[in-house]
Amino acid sequence: MRLIERYLFRQLLGPTLFAAAALIAVAVLSQALSSISILVQDRQSPLIFAKIIILAMPQLIVLVLPVAVLVAALVAVNRLHTENEIVICFAAGVSRWRVISPAMRLAAIVALISLIISQWVQPLAYRALRDTLLSVRTDLAATMIKPGSFTHPAPGLTVYAQTEDEDGHFHNLFIDHVAADGRDTTITAHEGRLSTRDGAPMLQMWRGANAEVSPAGVLNFLSFDEYMLDLRPLIGQEPTVRYKLSDRYPRELFFPDTRQTWDAANVRPMLAEGHARIAAPLYNFAFMAMALAAVIGGQFSRLGYAPRIGIVAAAALVTRTLGFAIQGVASQNPGLNVLQYATPLAATAISAAILFAPRRSARSTRLIDAPLERRLGLAA
């Protein structure tokens, strides 16, 4: 790049990084608020909480990057234009493309980053996220016993503990389990503690009783001083992870394994998701071109470009919303996937047409803005 192009690129890079950081911070805050139950209800550590937030960020980053490009371009180009720096470039004979090219190069860099994230980073992070959430759901210490409330960690299973002390001991335990064959088992204990034995989850209890009613109505009662309860039959088998559309790699989206029941039933949504991930980076070009068209695409104005900026911001919102709507429709009709690419490309083409449209000369502009008498040569 030449000197002037490097200067324009630097002027755009700073606001883009700042806007991206600000929007990502907002996205992190939003994700943190929506995941606060991991700390409050599931009683997980702050490290697990932070891990879940970080793993959920790639998809949000892909969504906010085009917005960051739009905001940064509007701010930077508007400042350069109102301070006559771009006007001076044009007056010095710099072509319109040389003024625009640094912005489009920046959009290309952001689009490449977005493509890498959506194609490879997002599936990798989301798969790790599913595994982490599964471990949270199957964490017996966090989900099975919640002091002061009745919980139902598995069908037919009810668990209650009055309090929990600092050593992790539960007091006044109550467990009721109705088996599939109708056998009803009720266990009470003054004290209990969760532990593991050979990797199996166990509940060690002291000073309690075990009452079992068979399907025939026979009651068996047993009191104990210490009792080890194997929790595996109560909890059942651990649930398996089922990866969603956002967790799939491109190969899995475009070439689903139809031998799998879920894949065979979701071929069209998977195809729409695959095309959406490729089309999403194109919005960086579209929004950059729209921002340039808002400021450079019209006549110079010393009063600013607030009306044009407002129109472009609304147009960008409509364009992205239309892209989401087309993805939803394309999940039922694969033939409409081409519109996922057509939407950002059409916005880019329209903005380019505005940018490179012939400009009226200053003399023509003054003549058009003159009073009617002067234009007709009737003025004194």
Q: What is the pLDDT of residues 236-267, one digit of tens each?
A: 545 566 788 999 999 999 999 989 888 999 99
How is residue 108 written in tokens?
Answer: 């290309």
List % helix, strand, coil for the chain (3-state, nearest 5).
Answer: 60, 15, 25
**Using one digit for the tens of pLDDT, what is the confidence trace for 108-166?**
999 999 999 999 999 999 999 988 887 776 665 556 777 888 888 777 888 999 998 88
HSE (side-chain half, CA atoms, 13 Å) at 223: 2
**Using one digit for the tens of pLDDT, what is the confidence trace for 282-299?**
999 999 999 999 988 877
Sign of torsion over alpha carbons 71, 75, 78, 81: negative
**Using one digit for the tens of pLDDT, what is the confidence trace for 160-209?**
999 988 887 899 999 998 887 888 999 999 999 888 777 677 888 999 99
pLDDT-based confidence at residue 330 (cuts at 50, 70, 90) = very high
What ranges do the domains of the chain cover? 3-137+243-359, 145-230
281 or 217, higher pLDDT: 281
Predicted confidence at residue 301, as pLDDT, reads 63
Q: Does 361 have pLDDT greater than 90?
A: no
Predicted confidence at residue 363, as pLDDT, reads 47
Mean pLDDT of 265-272: 95
How is residue 111 written in tokens?
Answer: 């689009």
Residues 106 and 19 sit within 8 Å (Cβ to Cβ): no
Predicted confidence at residue 297, as pLDDT, reads 81
Distance CA 147, CA 92 (A): 75
